[in-house]
């Protein structure tokens, strides 16, 4: 390659590099930075969902309890089986717990641990107790929480439970 041609290639490359850098800089200025996530506020919002669910269960409002779950696509695993979906999970609660305050019992979530996985995803692990005269339960919930349309819901719920003596 002749020195003249080499100079021409170098000049064109330099001009293209400068233009590309200018475009990149302009693009960076027009892009808004991602909003910083207040992890503690998001964790509190998730705790509030769990608190509302607990209160709804204890007053016998299974539909209110189910407001904490993604609808219709929650994945719910319990007793070694998948529940069908949101409606199948609601049907399960009504069928297995809903005939009276005695069969429903009193539900309490505690030892709640939340890890933020991203601005719209969190992992929640908690213990629970279901106090009732027959077949009281103790267990652990593992939940994938997702923020949808500005509110936190349970997208995946896995329950490991045992009956207490």
Based on the domain organization, do 27 and 46 belong to the same domain? no
Q: In DSSP terms, which residues pair with 161 in a beta bridge?
A: 139
Write out pLDDT tens, residues 82-139: 888 999 999 989 999 988 999 999 999 999 999 999 999 999 999 999 999 999 999 9
Based on the domain organization, do 63 and 132 belong to the same domain? yes
Q: What is the pLDDT of residue 32?
A: 44
Domain that holds residue 22: 1-31
Based on the domain organization, do 58 and 129 belong to the same domain? yes
Based on the domain organization, do 67 and 2 belong to the same domain? no
User: Residue 98 sits in a domain of what CATH number?
Assistant: 3.10.450.50
Burial class (CB in 10 A: 0-12, 13-18, 19+), 80: exposed
Write out pLDDT tens, residues 32-84: 444 567 999 999 999 999 999 999 999 999 999 999 999 999 999 988 888 88
Asked if pLDDT for residue 30 goes beyond 50, the answer is no
Based on the domain organization, do 138 and 58 belong to the same domain? yes
**The pTM of the whole model exceeds 0.85:** no
Based on the domain organization, do 19 and 73 belong to the same domain? no
Describe the strand order of the beta sheet including 106-118 as a list of residue ranges: 81-82, 75-78, 151-163, 137-148, 121-131, 106-118
How many folded domains does the chain comprise? Answer: 2
């Amino acid at each position: 390659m002749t020195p003249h041609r080499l100079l021409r290639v170098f000049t064109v490359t330099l001009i293209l590099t400068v233009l590309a850098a200018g475009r990149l800089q302009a693009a960076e200025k027009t892009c808004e930075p991602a909003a910083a996530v207040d992890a503690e506020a998001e964790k509190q919002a998730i705790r509030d969902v769990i608190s509302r669910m607990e209160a709804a269960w204890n007053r016998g409002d299974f539909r209110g309890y189910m407001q904490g779950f993604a609808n219709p696509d929650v994945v719910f695993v319990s007793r070694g089986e998948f529940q069908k979906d949101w409606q199948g999970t609601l049907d399960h609660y009504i069928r297995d717990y809903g005939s009276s305050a005695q069969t429903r019992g009193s539900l309490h979530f505690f030892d709640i641990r939340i890890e933020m996985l991203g601005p719209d995803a969190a992992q929640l692990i908690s213990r629970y107790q279901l106090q009732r005269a027959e077949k009281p339960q103790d267990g652990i919930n593992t939940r994938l929480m997702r923020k949808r349309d500005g509110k936190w819901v349970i997208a995946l719920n896995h329950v490991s439970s045992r009956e207490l003596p």
